[in-house]
Amino acid sequence: MDHIYGSLIWSTHMKTTLDLDDDLLLEAKRRASLANSTLKTFVEEALRARLLPSRETVKPFKLSLPVVEGTAPPTVDIADRRLLHDFMSESS
């Protein structure tokens, strides 16, 4: 898209020439065609995807839960599944 300000024309698109490997260019054209897209759009999307921050640079999520210490001893051994199930059934 061009914008005209006085006698200056500002272009929002840049043109350039790239020297690409023949096989790479043919594959890009083939994939663009399969996607019903233009080569220009295919290359733009590929560049955008490549320029996104990699997962390695994104800080991994770390769940931090508060630790609350109780004042009374546990009333059931949580390692005993049967007793734990019975206790939870009684509480409902």
The residues with which 20 forms a beta bridge, in sequence order, are none
In a domain, 26, yes or no: yes
What local confidence, expressed as pLDDT, does residue 64 receive? 92
Separation between Cα atoms, residue 50 and residue 39, nearest integer Å: 16
Dihedral sign for Cα 39, 41, 44, 45, please. Answer: negative
Mean pLDDT of 44-63: 83
Q: Is residue 25 part of a domain?
A: yes
Residue with tokens 């009374």: 72
* Residue 31 placed within a domain: yes
Q: Residue 47 belongs to what domain range?
A: 20-52
Partners of 2 in the β-ladder: 11
Q: Does 40 fall in a domain? A: yes
Q: What's the number of domains the chain is made of?
A: 1
pLDDT in tens, 61-81: 899 988 888 777 777 888 888
Rounded Cα–Cα distance for residues 63 and 60 (Å) = 10
Q: Is the pLDDT of residue 13 over 80?
A: no
Residue 69 lies in a domain: no
pTM value? 0.47
58 in any annotated domain: no
| 47 located within any domain | yes
Residue at 44 is within a domain: yes
